[in-house]
Amino acid sequence: MNYALVTGASKGIGKAVANELAAKGFNLLLVARSESLLEQTAGEIVARYKVKVDWYALDLSRPSAPQNVLDWSRAKGYTVQVLVNNAGYGLSGPFEKYSLEEHWNMMQLNMQTLVGLTRLFLPDLQTQGRAYILNIASSAAYQAVPRLSIYAATKAFVLSFSRGLHQELAHGPITVTVVSPGATDTDFPNRAQLGEKGMKAAEKFNMSPQAVATIAVRAMLAGKSEVITGFINKLGAAMAWLLPKGMVEKTAMKIYE
């Protein structure tokens, strides 16, 4: 029996993607840190969609996490057809505000765990008649964002890696889709410690996690390589490409002062 594995699945975009996949008949494997939230989410999805759901509580920022997830899924006899790399977070403010360990932890989760899971599950995905990898980047991936510098850089990595891998795997059973949401009504602003100005800017353009998930899953199943959610975010990415980089970066920095 085939499953869709979703990281960061206990809340926000990850939870919404899990619900969207369940609505389309996919059985689910949910991975996140919070055991209680995972159990609650799994129960809600089973009751609503009548699909099979299992979950694994794990800190995905640990270097061993990708291997732990693979070992767990194989021990349970699960076959993964869809891999959704959603888990991630940001830290806002001056670079020196955070310790080296805090920066590395975010980089580990946003990049290394994503690459690790992709590489480890790739052989299983290649045995499927049709398989999917969905990576969640960010509209911040399209430019440098002062005071959100490392987060934006990690998402630029996710974007570039995903686009390259999409082309590498184009003639096989796997499609790779990268989705770049902008401001979304999740816990991201609190985890990122956004200031008042950043909070207000996000609130003006917030999309719901459900709207982002619908766009993401539709793009994934259509085999698209890349999608930016929402007109404002598409416009922002275009302007970041067209306008002088210094101008774009100084404007972005003002949001996070």
The pLDDT value given to residue 238: 54
Q: Is the pLDDT of residue 46 over 60?
A: yes
Least confident of 2-16, 58-72, 242-256: 242-256
Q: Is 151 a catalytic residue?
A: yes
Q: Is the pLDDT of residue 247 over 60?
A: no
Confidence of residue 177 (pLDDT cuts 50, 70, 90): very high
Calculate mean pLDDT across residues 168-180: 97
The pLDDT value given to residue 248: 55
CATH of the domain at 158: 3.40.50.720
The pLDDT value given to residue 1: 75
Confidence of residue 183 (pLDDT cuts 50, 70, 90): confident
Q: Give the closest residue to 18 by CA, choosing from 162, 208, 216, 222.
A: 216
Evaluate if pTM is beyond 0.75: yes
pLDDT digits (tens, 9 = 90+) for 78-118: 999 999 999 999 998 999 999 999 999 999 999 999 999 99
The pLDDT value given to residue 192: 47
Catalytic residue among 56, 78, 132, 151: 151
Least confident of 152-161, 162-171, 185-194, 205-214: 185-194
CA distance 130 to 238: 32
The pLDDT value given to residue 231: 52
Domain region containing 60: 2-255
Q: 123: buried, middle or exposed (CB in 10 Å: 19+, 13-18, 0-12)?
A: exposed
Structure tokens at 117: 């899971």
- Contact (Cβ atoms closer than 8 angstroms) between residue 226 and residue 178: yes
Q: How far is CA 224 from CA 11, 133, 177, 216, 246, in A?
A: 25, 11, 6, 10, 31
Q: Is the pLDDT of residue 228 over 50?
A: yes
Q: What is the CA radius of gyration of the chain?
A: 18
The pLDDT value given to residue 255: 64
Confidence of residue 55 (pLDDT cuts 50, 70, 90): very high
Cα 167 to chain centroid distance, Å, stands at 20
pLDDT digits (tens, 9 = 90+) for 100-110: 999 999 999 99
Tokens 């598409």 identify what position?
234
Q: Is the pLDDT of residue 187 over 70?
A: no
- Contact (Cβ atoms closer than 8 angstroms) between residue 184 and residue 208: yes
Q: Is the pLDDT of residue 242 over 90?
A: no
- Say how many C-beta atoms besides its own lie within 10 A of residue 1's C-beta: 8
Which residues, at least 6 apart from 74, have a Cβ–Cβ distance to it below 8 Å?
Answer: none
Based on the structure, what is the number of domains in the chain? 1
Give CA torsion, residues 238, 240, 242, 244, to 10 deg. 170
E strand intervals along 86-224: 131-136, 174-180
